[in-house]
Each structure stands twice: as structure tokens, then as C-alpha cells.
Amino acid sequence: MKARTAKVMEIPEEEKRLEKQLCFAVYATAHAFTRAYKPILDRVGLTYPQYIVMLVLWEKAELPVKTIGEQLDLDSGTLSPLLKRLEQNGLIKRLRDSRDERQVIVSLTPKGQSMKGEINTIMSSIGEAIGCTLEEMAAMRDMLHRLRGNLNASI
């Protein structure tokens, strides 16, 4: 952990209210995203965490479990049950790496690969629910990436 000297600044009382907190806005928005995705993903039989695993695998059809976890910022205790359920549903397969038995490689099955066709419908539905232009969404995403990077650098 980085040792930092906290710079104490005076915060006006109005800014201390819950609805003024950036952390709460991000938290509440994350929950709203999950609720918005649910009916869309229910139609294809995925939960949101399963969907983001599939997004990673649709980009690269075969990856080590460790790489998937790093890309999604998920620990193995969270990722393993997700992968198990995706495997039970016939969307992925997990095999030990023949070159390094310690590593497990995750790959898409033909059924999992065929689901990639649903991504446009999913993204269009969410885009419509968000109600912003592609440029606005890109600007918000870039700001959130910056925010996450700054927070990660501070801990």
C-alpha cells in the first residue's frame, strides 16, 4: 500500500449529502445497469457476470483462467463458480494446459461461439436504455477508466 499524506480540504456541508457523493452515484448506477441487463440477458440464459466472461472469450476464444480473472478483476473464488456454470450450460470447456498442468485453459464450445451473434442485440438494448449517444457513452467510459486507474494507484 502506498503511503500518502492526506491533504485535508474543507468540504461544504451540502456536498456531504448522500446524493452528492460520487461513490454513491457510481454504486447506484452499477446496480441500475445490472437491473437493466437482467431481462435482456435472461433471454439468452446468462447472468451479467457470465456475460462479461463471455465478452472476454468472444474476443479471444481461448484463455487461461488467470488471464480472464485479471481482465475482469475477479478473484478465483468468484470466477471459478462462473466458469463452472458456463461449462454446465455447454458454453465453455476447461482443460489443463498440456504444457503446464498448473494452468487451466478456458475455451468456447461451438454453442458458446454461436451466442456471439446475440451481442449486437444485447448492446443495442442497453444503449437504448442508457439514452445517450455513442460519443457520450465513450466519454463516460473514459472518465470511469481514469477514475478506476486513479483509485487503484492510490491503494
3-state helix, strand, coil in the chain (%, to 5): 65, 10, 25
Q: Give the CATH number, domain containing residue 47.
A: 1.10.10.10
Percent of the chain with pLDDT over 70: 96
Q: For residue 90, which amino acid is it?
A: G
Classify burial at 107, counting beta carbons within 10 Å of its beta carbon; exposed 0-12, middle 13-18, buried 19 or more. Answer: middle
3-state secondary structure of 64: strand
Q: For residue 55, which amino acid is it?
A: L
Domain assignment present for residue 6? The answer is: no
Domain assignment present for residue 94? The answer is: yes
Q: What is the pTM of this model?
A: 0.85
**Number of domain units in the chain:** 1
Q: What is the pLDDT of residues 3-55, one digit of tens each?
A: 556 678 888 888 889 999 999 999 999 999 999 999 999 999 999 999 999 99
